[in-house]
Structure 1
């Protein structure tokens, strides 16, 4: 049972979205200047202080007032939501679907027939047989520059693709959505627009999120060492929807902390991936974690943050399905492109 009712505070951020022509997924949020923060906002009965010149300073003051003067025990937080950057599995899945161009039915036939999504490794030959184009620059990367190396792709806990490769293979699909670019944007946001640095950063334990968090927030925290310490919290429940795909299993805690020593696992974070045993592929190829179960997991993420985190600004680095479920819990389902970010003002009322 929920301990809070979660809602978005309206009238603070302005959304613009791109809709899916096939209506198979929630609208995609389009990044706006100031992340859509309105210059003046009155999302509740408490108006913002219009004597404060910077919009983000006004928002910080506004949230402090809301938390201090709430008469129903409500808590308020600004939550940045960040989707991981462009990963190897993103390209492979889109590559196959792009060649087929026949929608969901062919996608399901491909998954049931080839089944490489459930394998830790897959050969380039199998990918090409499924219709996935492998550009030379990507093949060289996968072979690590050795033309005689085994032509296999590791999909287990899928990694980010290097920016220069992602830019080449995505072509016209690229906007400004990559982890390094967003890291540079954060430096400008803090220096020029006085964006608040998150008081706490929570990240999925999957490699693509751990690395995205480092690329996005590492530079701006290093440039502002007196404001906050860069110590992301690894949260198991922020991982992607459980469906048995190899890309959605995580590495061991030892591997993670060897590679990301500044990160801090949440309490009871296990050494090995228990999901690898709990989430198995169903015989019909459908995900074993339902939409309702994923939404409940996102409610728990929010509950834990509002229970345990005393800061008024936090950030979550997670995945597309998780973002869709999280925003549905907040009352307005949305998703993000790879490597993009949005912001919400969230109200949590104890039940």
Structure 2
């Protein structure tokens, strides 16, 4: 009997299709809401008689052609990477300043009438997600392919963002909004209580429509109160997430609602340029995956990232 040998994927970004993937695009000036998710207006080799179809429909035809005609072990997927809207932890970091937040306030459950452990969206954050909903509504009328799968971090703010972004859209019957909670799709782990998830039973009670992936444990198995996940470990974790998705999901257009740090690690994993996303921001990227024999190399254990804890809160910024 043949034994399945271990493998992983090598990821690269296919440039030339989205503004955010181009080196000369200023991420501080880029506005996905006004720039069609960044899709570049251009012709494709697969246009043929469909040259009069919308840009999105022609792009979908091209990507599906690339994926179907790719050699064995190669896949192409478009990943819609969405950052959650503003959460109460974002408000707190602004209020206290990043230095004080990192060493003192982020270790607490909340303060001054604000709760940020597994933070909820603020009204501003809800509005940002609703803006994304309106963008999807507009782009669906222009032929954008709706995601075939909706993945989300299991933290409250990301589920709330995904719900406000996608619930109520006129989606194809075979692509309903049925979000899947993925443990590895989370923000940097440890120390900050805003990045500690709620129990599985709480998530199922508050968000019964979210399917938690198989093996999802009742308590949070990844968060440690005294160890902040280093960047190298976070990149490795998000590479494992991508390996899982590319191995098991045959969809070509996927939505991943997550966090700034996690999205940064995904971009790094697919050799995409660094691209800062504002709260509520969304960018699609075209990724190529090549199957590679052997286990993915795990980085060495590194010290906790970030400053040591403070005994008292540092002075607030002026």
Tell me the equivalent position of 1:325. 265
Post-superposition offset of 1:269: 0.6
**CA offset digits 1:8-50 (Å, max 9, x no partner):** 111111223335xxxxxxxx854252212122256xxxx3325
Post-superposition offset of 1:64: 1.6
Alignment of 1:188-267 (within 5 A): 188-191=138-141, 193-220=142-169, 223-224=170-171, 226-267=173-214
Given that 2:86 and 2:280 are in contact with CA atoms closer than 8 Å, whether structure 1 keeps it comes out as: yes
Aligned residue-pair number: 279
Equivalent position SS for 2:187: coil
Alignment of 1:41-56 (within 5 A): 47-52=45-50, 53-56=53-56
Is it true that 1:10 corresponds to 2:1 in the alignment?
A: no
Tell me the equivalent position of 1:35. 37
Regions of 4+ moved over 4 Å? none
Equivalent position SS for 2:168: helix
Once residues 210 and 47 of structure 2 are traced to their aligned partners in structure 1, the CA distance between those partners, rounded to angstroms, is: 36
**CA offset digits 1:28-80 (Å, max 9, x no partner):** 854252212122256xxxx3325322111112111221122112531001110
Given that 2:120 and 2:156 are in contact with CA atoms closer than 8 Å, whether structure 1 keeps it comes out as: yes
Tell me the equivalent position of 1:179. 129
Once residues 95 and 7 of structure 2 are traced to their aligned partners in structure 1, the CA distance between those partners, rounded to angstroms, is: 40
Is it true that 1:297 corresponds to 2:237 in the alignment?
A: yes
Once residues 15 and 48 of structure 2 are traced to their aligned partners in structure 1, the CA distance between those partners, rounded to angstroms, is: 18
More helix by share: 1
Aligned CA distance change for structure 1 residues 72 and 227 (closer, same or farther; 3 Å): closer
Once residues 2 and 86 of structure 1 are traced to their aligned partners in structure 2, the CA distance between those partners, rounded to angstroms, is: 38
Tell me the equivalent position of 1:108. 99
Instruction: State the TM-score, normalized to the length of structure 1.
Output: 0.75
Post-superposition offset of 1:110: 5.7
Given that 2:187 and 2:258 are in contact with CA atoms closer than 8 Å, whether structure 1 keeps it comes out as: yes
Further displaced range: 198-207 or 332-341 = 332-341
Tell me the equivalent position of 1:71. 71
Q: CA RMSD in A?
A: 2.0
Tell me the equivalent position of 2:279. 338
Once residues 13 and 321 of structure 1 are traced to their aligned partners in structure 2, the CA distance between those partners, rounded to angstroms, is: 21
**CA offset digits 1:79-119 (Å, max 9, x no partner):** 1000001111111102223xxxxxxxxx435643xx22111
Equivalent position SS for 1:302: helix
Given that 1:40 and 1:50 are in contact with CA atoms closer than 8 Å, whether structure 2 keeps it comes out as: no
Given that 1:78 and 1:346 are in contact with CA atoms closer than 8 Å, whether structure 2 keeps it comes out as: yes
Tell me the equivalent position of 1:156. 117
| Structure 1 gap ranges (5+) | 20-27, 98-106, 125-151, 168-176, 283-287
Instruction: State the TM-score, normalized to the length of structure 2.
Output: 0.82
Post-superposition offset of 1:303: 0.8
Once residues 202 and 30 of structure 2 are traced to their aligned partners in structure 1, the CA distance between those partners, rounded to angstroms, is: 33
**CA offset digits 1:278-300 (Å, max 9, x no partner):** x2324xxxxx2111100011111
Tell me the equivalent position of 1:84. 84
Once residues 87 and 140 of structure 2 are traced to their aligned partners in structure 1, the CA distance between those partners, rounded to angstroms, is: 27
